[in-house]
Amino acid sequence: MTTILEKTAGLVAFVRTVDAGSFQAASRLIGSSPSAVSKSVAKLERRLGAKLIQRSTRRLGLTSEGIAYYERVAPLLRALDDAQDIVQSTGTARGLLRVTAPVELGRGLIASWAQAFLAEQPEVKLELSVTDRHADLIRENYDVAVRMGALADAGLTARRIASLPIVLVAAPAYLQRRGFPASIEDLRRHDFIRYVSAGRPQPIAFTNGTEIVPDGRFDTDDGGAIRNAALAGAGIAHLMQVAVQDDLDTGRLVRVLPDVPMPTMPVHIVHAFGRQLPVRARLFVEFLVREMGRLGR
């Protein structure tokens, strides 16, 4: 008869192998040998009567049964890890930390900060999903999400970690060709590289209450594409200042209407843990708060 300890060993070996990508990498996480991990997974497959992992000399791949089994058991194993973290008053961060962030922040800032965080937390493995789609944290098993703008996720815990300035920018060549706007009203006669969401261009707001729907011939839902188009002289762009600070410093882009105040962009961390954040997630949030705070200095 298979004991609960034997079952648990097989589950841990399987999930860690999938997370790490190989038996060798999983063995380092577990503190065992690659052969022992492989044998544990093989015993689990025999007990279940199904092949979970396709083995080859180059890579490991999940079978359809392996995918279905992983989706069921991985959250359970991670919940056990989280429970241990929660009861530790001064715990060491460990395990897989899954984060989702919008492209403009994830690619431009968080990815560049990742190594510093991992150096501080040597037992954490970070998985960063960079997408402007709002992922379902519970269903997709993310620890935390970084969100910009207004929040719409009911039932999640949110913490505001920053308010980042927004700027209007354009390439010098575009402004020389079309002229420098002198007022908000002048903007209505210019081409914009427009950010589009749900098929609609997003309006541009100013702190005096004025709002305009920009005109333009190039629409996109990607902040990086907007910046690149602005650099190419396609029009005026409406972006977070941190995304174009290097371009402003070097003169590749210049501010448009720099004396007209614009609202800041709120940045939040959201999660589904309530007040009981696992140590790895709590330390990551604190790290982001610290790094975001430095942007305004």
Residue 80 and residue 16 share a domain? yes
- Give CA–CA dist 7/93, Å, rounded: 26
Total count of domains within the chain: 3
For the chain, 297 residues long, the average pLDDT of each consecutive 10-residue run is 58 81 78 85 88 75 85 74 56 82 85 92 91 81 87 79 94 96 95 90 93 93 91 96 93 96 92 80 92 73
Q: Which helix (H) or strand (E) holds 195?
A: strand 193-197
Residue 83 and residue 15 share a domain? yes
pLDDT at position 104: 81
Structure tokens at 205: 């707001």
Number of residues assigned to the chain: 297
Give the gyration radius of the chain's Cα atoms: 24
pLDDT at position 89: 45
Residue 19 and residue 35 share a domain? yes
The tens digit of pLDDT for each residue in 203-248 reads 999 999 999 999 999 999 888 899 999 999 999 999 999 889 999 9
φ, ψ at 185 (rounded to 5°): -60, -35
Please say which residue of 65, 87, 109 terminates a domain. 87
3-state secondary structure of 189: coil
Residue 82 and residue 139 share a domain? no
Please say which residue of 32, 54, 87 terminates a domain. 87
Q: Which residue intervals of the chain are DSSP H helices?
A: 4-20, 23-30, 34-48, 64-87, 103-105, 111-120, 172-178, 184-187, 223-231, 241-250, 279-295
Q: For the domain that residue 229 is a member of, what is the CATH number? A: 3.40.190.10
Q: For the domain that residue 81 is a member of, what is the CATH number? A: 1.10.10.10
pTM more than 0.75: no
Residue 134 and residue 62 share a domain? no
Nearest to 165 by CA among 286, 248, 230: 248
Residue 130 and residue 209 share a domain? no
Domain of residue 130, residue span = 95-159+267-295
Residue 26 and residue 83 share a domain? yes
Residue 273 and residue 246 share a domain? no
